[in-house]
Amino acid sequence: MGSTETTTPAPREGQERDTHDLAGLEAGLDALDTVQTGRPPLRETLVQKVLPPVTAVVLVLVVWQILVWVKVTDGYKLPAPDAVWQEVENAWLQGTLLEYIWTSVSRGMFGFLMALAIGTPLGLIVARIKFVRAAIGPILSGLQSLPSVAWVPPAVIWLGLNDKMMYAVILLGAVPSIANGLVSGVDQVPPLFLRAGRTLGATGLRGTWHIVMPAALPGYLAGLKQGWAFSWRSLMAAEIIAQSPDLGMGLGQLLEAGRTNSSMSQVFLAILLILIVGIAIDLIVFSPLERWVLRSRGLLVKS
């Protein structure tokens, strides 16, 4: 043990010089190695991101118009695009267009925020506490595959034809998605981060707040996105089924009213608006959020 090596080292320059050289070398390495990242120019974004969907929409409109021209079916079954546009204009001029949209969107958003407030702690508890996970984890993921329209009849019986019933249906649709998204986000947190956090002193609640939650954010966001889609779908199902003057005129009610009036252009208008709102919320809220999170972590692969 302890065999000692003593060799006279070769004469070397002073240490000052050494550190100076080192700093230079290091700066060179850093410069060579550093990844350059930047945002693509606006023109490129337009050509790559905006042009394709616009083309697709135009194509659909053209095909639609052609089908109307060749009279593929009766006029009351397939309204012409300009008849639907007429509906949009009328609703706009009467000031009801935004009212329809706002009635549904405000309901959907409020329901979604409630689902968020319930689903987040629920997901965290399921992810972190083994007993709870074993107890309700499977039920939670099973609920995700239950079409939320199934909740409408019992909700009507329990709560009556009112806003409460709408919110109940939204919650039952969205809470499982949000909770499950968070659970899978937490499950995918690399163990290395947890160990690193523990050595830094982030244990218990501090570990959850500083390490687990931010690390699980991508999965959580995916859950939120799906949660919104489920909220919106559940709400539409509820609005179509629950007709009552007290409930106001949402997009679902508009759709159902179109059916009872045998106005196909109104039905088309309602479907179009439901689709557009769903896409718009995703484009305005969730996609930018998701992209920002992924980009800031260097996870957004440029194609």
Partner 1 sequence: MGTTLTKAPESAAHTVDAAGVAARIEHVSKSFATPAGQQLVLDDITLDVRQGEFVTLLGASGCGKSTLLNLVAGLDRPSAGAIATDGRPALMFQEHALFPWLTAGKNIELALKLRGLPKAERRPRTEELLTLVRLDGAYGKRVHELSGGMRQRVALARALAQDSKLLLMDEPFAALDAITRDVLHDELSRIWRETGVSVLFVTHNVREAVRLAQRVVLLSSRPGRVAHEWTVDIEQPRRIEDAAVAELSVEITEELRGEIRRHGQH
- Provide the binding-site residues for partner 1, judged by CB under 8 A: 1-10, 12, 15, 18-19, 22-23, 25-27, 29-30, 32-35, 37, 192-193, 195-196, 198-202, 206, 210-211, 214-215, 217, 293, 296-299
Distance CA 10, CA 13 (A): 10
Residue type, 123: G
Shortest spacing between CB 93 and partner 1, in angstroms: 49
Q: Is there a contact between 179 and 126 (Cβ–Cβ < 8 Å)?
A: yes
Neighbours of 46 (CB within 10 A): 11
Structure tokens at 170: 């939204």
Shortest spacing between CB 223 and partner 1, in angstroms: 17
Distance CA 10, CA 158 (A): 89
Shortest spacing between CB 219 and partner 1, in angstroms: 13
Nearer to partner 1, 256 or 290 (CB): 290
Nearer to partner 1, 164 or 198 (CB): 198
Distance CA 116, CA 292 (A): 20
Query: Residue 99 burial (CB < 10 Å; 0-12/13-18/19+)?
Result: middle
Nearer to partner 1, 118 or 293 (CB): 293
Q: Is there a contact between 183 and 143 (Cβ–Cβ < 8 Å)?
A: no
Structure tokens at 40: 């693509």
Shortest spacing between CB 64 and partner 1, in angstroms: 45
Nearer to partner 1, 64 or 193 (CB): 193
Q: Is there a contact between 169 and 152 (Cβ–Cβ < 8 Å)?
A: yes
Shortest spacing between CB 40 and partner 1, in angstroms: 17
Nearer to partner 1, 114 or 294 (CB): 294
